[in-house]
Amino acid sequence: MTHVLPTHRPLDRFTRLLDAHGPEPSRWPARDRAAAEALLANSAAARALLAEARALEARLVAALPQPAPEAVARLQANLARAIARSPLPAPASAWTRLTARLRPAAPIGWGAFAAMATCALWLSFSAGPAVGDPLGPLQALPIAEDPL
């Protein structure tokens, strides 16, 4: 048995699209835009919904208080003055540049890097294992004497 979607379902999706993103198609998600534009081309009800949403948006924009042009100009001038007065960032120190360049060598932190380097040095200077002695590497470890 084939399942047929009701005819009002695309209009429901289109209504949700208008509610979420407004009546301007450029603000609609790309994955929904093509289907919505196809619905607009074929459905008078969708075109009526779009016209209603555009009228509502126009009323909302008209109802918003508009700032005075003098206030906007004053705000822009104050912002430009504040930017001009702010000091430039200090150039990075030699230490900061060095650690930034060495950061890829220690992706999980310098403590882990130091532990790894210590292990590598210990292994390189320890005596090699005796032939056939599986505990040979442990013999190079300094172990405190038993106090008993």
Count the alpha carbons within 13 Å of 39 in the hemisphere toward its beta carbon.
23
pTM: 0.43
Q: Are 28 and 36 in contact (CB under 8 A)?
A: yes
Question: How far apart are the C-alpha atoms of 38 and 33, rounded to whole Å?
Answer: 9
Count the alpha carbons within 13 Å of 96 in the hemisphere toward its beta carbon.
4
Question: How far apart are the C-alpha atoms of 96 and 91, rounded to whole Å?
Answer: 10
- With H, G, I as helix, E, B as strand and everything else as coil, classify residue 96: helix
User: Which letter, b or e, does each residue of 24-58 get, where b requires 16 or more Cβ atoms within 10 Å of its Cβ?
Assistant: eeeebeeebeeebeebeeebeebeebbeebeeeee
Q: Are 23 and 53 in contact (CB under 8 A)?
A: yes
Question: How far apart are the C-alpha atoms of 131 and 128, rounded to whole Å?
Answer: 9
Q: What is the pLDDT along the chain (148 residues), one digit of tens a residue?
A: 433 334 458 888 999 999 999 999 999 998 888 889 999 999 999 999 999 999 999 998 889 888 899 999 999 999 999 999 999 888 889 998 988 888 787 777 778 878 888 988 888 887 665 566 666 666 666 666 655 5
